[in-house]
């Protein structure tokens, strides 16, 4: 059984879709920790209600990323995950940390990578006049939103769409894509 830690920053809808999927024994993984960079992350209570251990490490309590990540690594050592899934985790991790978790850390990003790395992906797709948008699951490397892509899902951009409309349509696909990409990744790891 693959041990999975999930990092969040907010409400955790992607985290919940992963927890739902891991309830299926054939998925081959179990959630061992949900960690947030703020104790105010709404997803922590949702994970707690599911009986998944939680932790909060507030990046504002540290003078630099190294200190923040050292505390995260201390907590990870207690739960000993095999994989980390970033799910709406809004902190950029250092090359040192991503190197420690090379080929063992996944992220979901709300665009069709390599297009629109970073923030405001839906508004940028609208501003560019794109006819389709989507989301991507990728392995995390030192370069932001740049690692090998494990899966993508596409949605149409409709006339009159706002960034919020598009975000809502893409989020539905995120909740399907992330569990599928994680399941396939775990199966391939053997």
| Nearest CB to ligand GRF, comparing residues 56 and 171 | 171
CA nearest to 53, candidates 4, 89, 92: 4
Judge whether 83 and 10 are in contact, CB under 8 Å.
no
Judge whether 82 and 3 are in contact, CB under 8 Å.
yes
Q: Which among 59, 109, 138, 175 is annotated as catalytic?
A: 109
Q: Would you call 109 a catalytic residue per the annotation?
A: yes
Binding positions for ligand GRF, rule: CB under 6 A: 8, 10-15, 87-88, 108-110, 171, 174
| Nearest CB to ligand GRF, comparing residues 10 and 81 | 10
Please state the closest distance from residue 154 (CB atom) to ligand GRF, in A: 15
Please state the closest distance from residue 15 (CB atom) to ligand GRF, in A: 6
User: Which strands, in side-by-side order, build the sheet including 83-86?
Assistant: 54-56, 29-36, 2-8, 83-86, 105-109, 132-139, 149-156
Please state the closest distance from residue 11 (CB atom) to ligand GRF, in A: 5
Active site residues: 109
């Amino acid at each position: 059984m693959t041990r999975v830690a999930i990092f969040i920053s907010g409400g955790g809808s992607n985290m919940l879709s992963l927890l739902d999927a891991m309830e299926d024994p054939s998925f081959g993984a179990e959630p061992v920790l949900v960690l947030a960079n703020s104790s105010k992350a709404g997803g922590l209570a949702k994970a707690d209600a599911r009986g998944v251990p939680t932790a909060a490490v507030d990046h504002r309590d540290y003078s630099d990323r190294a200190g923040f990540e050292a505390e995260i690594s201390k907590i990870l050592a207690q739960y000993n995950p095999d994989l980390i899934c970033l799910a709406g985790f809004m902190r950029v991790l250092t090359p040192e940390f991503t190197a420690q978790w090379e080929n063992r850390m996944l992220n979901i990003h709300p665009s069709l990578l390599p297009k629109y790395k970073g923030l405001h992906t839906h508004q940028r797709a609208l501003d560019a006049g794109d006819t389709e948008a989507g989301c991507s699951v990728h392995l995390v490397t030192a370069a932001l939103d740049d690692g090998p892509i494990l899966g993508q899902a596409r949605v149409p951009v409709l006339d009159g769409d706002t960034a919020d409309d598009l975000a809502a349509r893409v989020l539905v696909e995120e909740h399907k894509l992330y569990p599928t990409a994680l399941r396939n990744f775990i199966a391939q790891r053997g």
